[in-house]
Structure formats: structure tokens, C-alpha cells
Amino acid sequence: MNSFLRQMMKSLIGPTIPGGIITILIFYLDYFQFELVEKFLLFAAFVIVPLVILLLSHDEKNTYQRNIYAAIKLLQFPAALLTLASVMSSKRWGLESTTIPGTLSLGWLLLTLLLCIYGLTTIVIHKGKIAEIAIGAGLVYFFIGGIWFTLYQYQVNLFQANPATHALSSVHFHFSSAIVPIFIGVLGRIMTKKSWYPWVVAIDIVGPILIAIGMIFSKPIEYIGVTLFACNIVIYTTYLLAFLRRNSFHHKATFFLVLSCIAFYSVIVLSIFYPLLKNMFSLTILDFIPIYGTLHAFGFVLCGLIGWVYMVDSLKKKSLPMSISE
């Protein structure tokens, strides 16, 4: 058992193992009586963001960006622990009526601010390259997710939104708004450039904002944003599957990326058949939310990130250029 753990820690995704163990305990131990949305936010803090950090590459000649990257790597796990303490203080320690949960959440807000700054420097350094704009935008959206989490922990009512809406908005920005642009950005780094690619990136940047605005002010705007965003993911997954079929890559990268695409299509199929399943088994939308959330967070997002981490690493080892011909 000890040798297995040592081998896992030495693996490419080893830095995420401690956070992964903590996440498993949070999801399965009765001691952690958290809301499902809070468990997903902690999953993002302990596992998703560390995987994103593994995907980042910095310009060695740029001291400013290199220092930010070092700070992000250093502060990520302590910030995640503060996030856990923030939720614990409001759910287990009886401090929900104080400002302590909100104050503890500021650690995660700082970490996401650093990700935001890193994303902006990436855009500036690469001087408008579309793929880098997508990745930079995704990192900026982590900061917006951090803001929503802090508002949730402070129990602030903003505009027409209550704290529960803040929590949902935070999950949205951590798992969709940030991740999809990053996925499309890393794909853009290695694919042959297509005329439609800038449009996909533009929609990926605008879509999450429409969804967030719609969640607070207008359902029609939210529906438009969701539709555009979902169509973009369809384009991404369809192209990615074809791309993987035409090119030979690391088998782990291919496996996890295909699994990620399958998870997304499973969500689509469930959404289509939801009315039928609801009538057949007397189910409500509340019964489907955990299924949708699990498929999206653990299937599409987690498997996708692991796949891209292995993909980027294999390309570095082969010393291949960032653009691969098809």
C-alpha cells in the first residue's frame, strides 16, 4: 500500500493526490454535512485548480509571470485548506452568524486573484494569440468564481440574488466558465488553425457572462447563454474526438479525453430524455441535479483536465511543436 502511494505521488498528477483524498472524505463521510454545491466547490479547490496549474506554462524570461506562477503553486493548498475551514465554520463550528466564514474565504479569493493576474499576463505576453486569450479568460473567470464564493460565505444579498444563488454562480464559474475556455485554448495550441476557431473562443468568453447575468436578472438571457455555451462544447468535443482519431497520442491522454467527451454527451442524452424519465420513474429535477453534477464535474471536467495534463506532458517529452498538422 505504501509503495502504491509513493508511486502515485511520483506520477504526473501526484500533486493532486492529497487534495483528492480530502475530497473523497468530504463527499463520503457523514461528518461533513455540507450542501452538495459546497462539496463541489471544495472539489474545485482541492483537485480541479491544482490540475489547471499543472497545465500552465510560464515565460522563463518574464520574471513577473514566473513569480506569480511560483506564488500560485505555493499558496494553492493552504488556500484550499482555508476554503475548507470557511465552510466548516459555517456548517460545523456554529459560526455562521459571524464574519469568520467570509474572512476565511478571502484566502481562496486571493488565490483566484493570482490566477486572474496570471491569465491577463498570458494574454499580454502572447500578444493576442487566440488560444492564449481563451486560456487567459478561463483563468480570469476563476477569480469571478472566487468573488461569488466570498459573497456566499459573507451571506451578502447582491442585486436580486440571495446567497444560494451566489453559491451556484461560484460553481458555474469554477466548473464551466473557467474550464471550457481553457480546454478550447489548449486544443487551439496544438490544432491546425481553423476559420471558425476565433468565433468559438469569442462565444466561450461571452457565454458565461450571459449565463451569470441571466441567473440574477433574466431567465431568457440565461437560456441564450446556456444554449450558446452548450453548442460550443459540442463543437469542441466533436472536433477533439476526430482530432484524437487522426493523430497518435499518449494512450492515457486519449483515454481520459475520450472519457471526458462521453461524459458530456451523457449529460446531453439525459437532458433530452429527462421528460420521459421523469414520468416513468416519478423523478424530479432535484433527483437529476446530482447526476448532472457528477457527470459534468467528475466526468467532463476532471477527466478532461487529466487528459490534457498527460497530453501536454507527452508533447513536451517528444519535443513536438505546439501546432500539430492533421
Looking at per-residue pLDDT, the higher value among 151 and 322 belongs to 151
**pLDDT at residue 278, as a whole number:** 66
Question: How much of the chain exceeds pLDDT 90, in percent?
Answer: 45
Bridge partner residues of 114 (DSSP): none
Give which of 137, 111, 252 is closest to 203, Cα–Cα. Answer: 137
Taking 50 as the threshold, does the pLDDT of residue 178 lie above it?
A: yes
The stretch 241-250 carries a mean pLDDT of: 82
Looking at per-residue pLDDT, the higher value among 198 and 128 belongs to 198
The stretch 24-37 carries a mean pLDDT of: 89
**pLDDT at residue 74, as a whole number:** 93
Classify residue 126 by its DSSP letter.
T
The stretch 7-30 carries a mean pLDDT of: 79
Question: How much of the chain exceeds pLDDT 70, in percent?
Answer: 87
**pLDDT at residue 69, as a whole number:** 92
Mean pLDDT for the chain overall: 85
The stretch 49-64 carries a mean pLDDT of: 83
Taking 90 as the threshold, does the pLDDT of residue 150 lie above it?
A: yes
**pLDDT at residue 272, as a whole number:** 76
The stretch 224-245 carries a mean pLDDT of: 88
Report residue 161: phi and psi, to 5°: -100, 140
**pLDDT at residue 60, as a whole number:** 66
Bridge partner residues of 161 (DSSP): 158
Q: Where are the alpha helices (DSSP H) in the chain?
A: 2-10, 17-28, 36-43, 49-55, 63-91, 100-125, 130-153, 163-172, 179-190, 197-216, 219-246, 251-281, 285-294, 304-317
**pLDDT at residue 270, as a whole number:** 80
